[in-house]
Chains A and B, each alone.
Chain A
Amino acid sequence: MRAVRRKLSTYLVVGPFAIVLAFPFYWMLVTMFKEDLDLYNVENVPYVYNPLQWRFWESATTKHVEYVFTDTQYTDWIVNTLKVGAVVVAITLVVALPAGYALARLSGSWGQSAGIAIFLVYLVPPTLLFLPMSRLIVELKRLPGIDDEEGLKDSLWSLILVYPSFTIPFSTWLLMGFFKTIPQELEDAALVDGCSRIKALVRIVFPISLPGILTVVIFAFALCVNEFIYAFTFISSSENRTISTGVPNELIRGDVFFWQSLMAATLIPSIVLALLYNAFLDRFIKGFTGGAFR
């Protein structure tokens, strides 16, 4: 009896929360397949496709979803986002992997402080830095090899340069947490066998940490997809946008909203990211708290 009550109370609490939190996404899903006549009629029940019938898909349409992919630059923005994300994640790993390891293993008490200091940098928000940053990327034209009058402005390279400013602190922290959970004995054994520390790192530590590293890849990539204010101030031409700025800036024309298309463009990346988050959530929790707050 107690067990049943316990189970029931769980569903009674978690259920309503899930409904409220996921509601906007349900509304996106319904909206994206609606006909104009159905959507813009306040007499219709908005939660279903009207006219209501058993074969409900006959009252729905996929033409607005197709429109996003065929008549807008949506796919370009997805490609841009993937490009920026991939390069930023690569840079992040090259810098954060050794740093995370050193902070977890090699440094003494000052390492703990250094780790927290690096993490605190993650809390310095882009909203504090975007004004000087928007000028600094133009001034980069003084560097050899950058010929453009506007420097890196309106170039994906500006985002690639700036995004590691938040992915590196975040990833270093997570990786530090993961490395702390790996038993020291494994490396000691390798060192006794005559491995150099670097070799032990590359041959032993990194392979065991692969799940943790993959988690960092996912979440660092998600940070890049999420970023708005830098992409908004740096990038001006529509073909160079990422999805976060492309959808709100280019798919909304003045006061005209194509809600079905907008919701399709919104829901698709959200679902993909949420699936990835859910799959890696337990590992994320492990790394996040493994750092210091134990």
Chain B
Amino acid sequence: MEAEAAARWKPGTRRWRRALEDRRVLAPVLIAPAVIFIALVVGVPFGWAIYLSLTDAIGGSLSGSWVGFDNFTSAWSDENFRKALRNTLIFTFGSQAIVLVGAAILAHYLIRDFRGRWFLRFLIILPWAAPVALATLGWLWVFDSLFSVINWTLGHAFGVVDSNDPPQWLGRPNLALLSVIIVHAWRILPFAVVIFIAGLASIPSEVDDAAKIDGATGIKKLLYVTLPLQLPIALVALLFGIVFTAADFTVVYLLTQGGPFNSTQMLTTWSFAIGINSGSLGEGAAISLYLFPLLAAVSITMLIFARKAQVS
């Protein structure tokens, strides 16, 4: 026991060592670095965002004079802002509706063991694994105004659309909003599938057996056994999806930059336009903070839910 011999010479180290064996001391010591780091790189900027939103700070400075809630009210009175708020809600809930339905179906089948599962799973998680900005460029090309492969297929191959005047996926207000919804649903779907699979895998096999004995099969089993048991994990997937979508900047910015005519402007892209491009740091911060009630609601739901899961 060399270490102990060494410690005997220095009583201070020894006391420290002994304290480290006590979990009431050791646990905080091990957790402290993470908490301090997070407080510095998340807490400080977050506090600063709130401070900035209450000042008239402009680009290139970190402070301004106090204006109270002026930034919030002036943002609200801007028609573009309310459009952005409305778009953010449509974008978030529209894409998550697609994701939930798709993931529930796909996970149900993908959890089975079959030949070629590895390869099919690889294809399915591609949209999630690809870096967002790069995957979005792929869609920019798919939706190209002249050489869109979708329009070629619909026009030249099936004759459903007029090849001389094909749909401008990113160039018409409603179509553009639909396009960004589809791209984001496409991106989040594999992630939701993975979470669903985790949820399905955690359903004990006894439940399956009990259902079989009670004569529940097929649709009946899906409706009364599998889906209710899947509900908690579906909620987790949904909450994640909401946060990732409402806070997305990359997909919308690279596809449409908020256009045409602000029809795909989101809170994130609008706060970027005001805060960075126009240099109104204070108002930009206020706009992005409008996201916070939504995120807080989601987080609190999650917290309550986690508590419940822990009790049962």
Contact residues of A with B, CB < 8 Å? 6-7, 9-11, 13-15, 17-22, 24-25, 27-28, 31, 39-40, 42, 46-47, 94-96, 98-99, 101-103, 106-107, 111-112, 114, 116, 118, 120-121, 123-136, 139, 161-162, 164-165, 168-169, 172, 194, 196-198, 222, 225-226, 228-229, 233, 243-245, 247-248, 257, 259, 262-263, 265-267, 269-271, 273-278, 281, 284-285, 288-289, 292-294
Contact = CB atoms under 8 A, between A and B. Distances in A.
Given A102-B31, A196-B17, A270 B134 contact: yes
A116 B300 CA distance: 11
26 contacts: A10-B112, A15-B120, A17-B124, A19-B123, A22-B123, A24-B138, A24-B186, A27-B141, A95-B33, A98-B30, A131-B281, A136-B48, A225-B131, A228-B132, A228-B249, A228-B250, A229-B272, A263-B141, A266-B134, A266-B137, A274-B126, A277-B128, A277-B129, A278-B129, A292-B310, A294-B202
B194 A284 contact: yes
Dominant secondary structure of chain B at its interface with chain A: helix
A129 B131 contact: no
Dominant secondary structure of chain A at its interface with chain B: helix
B190 interface: yes
B163 A42 contact: yes
The size bracket of the interface on B is: 35 or more
B198 interface: yes
A196 B123 CA distance: 47
Interface string B121-154: 1111111111111111111011010110100100
Contacts of A94: 33
B55 to A, nearest CB: 11
Contacts of A20: 186
Given A14-B120, A21-B190, A46-B149, A274 B17 contact: no
B213 interface: no
7 smallest beta-carbon distances between A and B, as pairs? A125-B247, A270-B130, A102-B30, A98-B30, A99-B34, A132-B48, A106-B27
Contacts of B62: 132, 135-136, 139
Interface of B: 1, 17, 20-21, 23, 26-28, 30-31, 33-35, 37-38, 41-42, 44-46, 48-49, 52, 60-62, 102, 105-106, 109-110, 112, 114, 118, 120-139, 141-142, 144, 146-147, 149, 152, 156, 163, 186, 189-190, 194-195, 197-199, 201-202, 232-233, 236, 240, 243-244, 246-250, 254, 268, 271-272, 275-276, 281, 284-285, 288-289, 291-292, 295, 298-299, 302-303, 306, 309-310
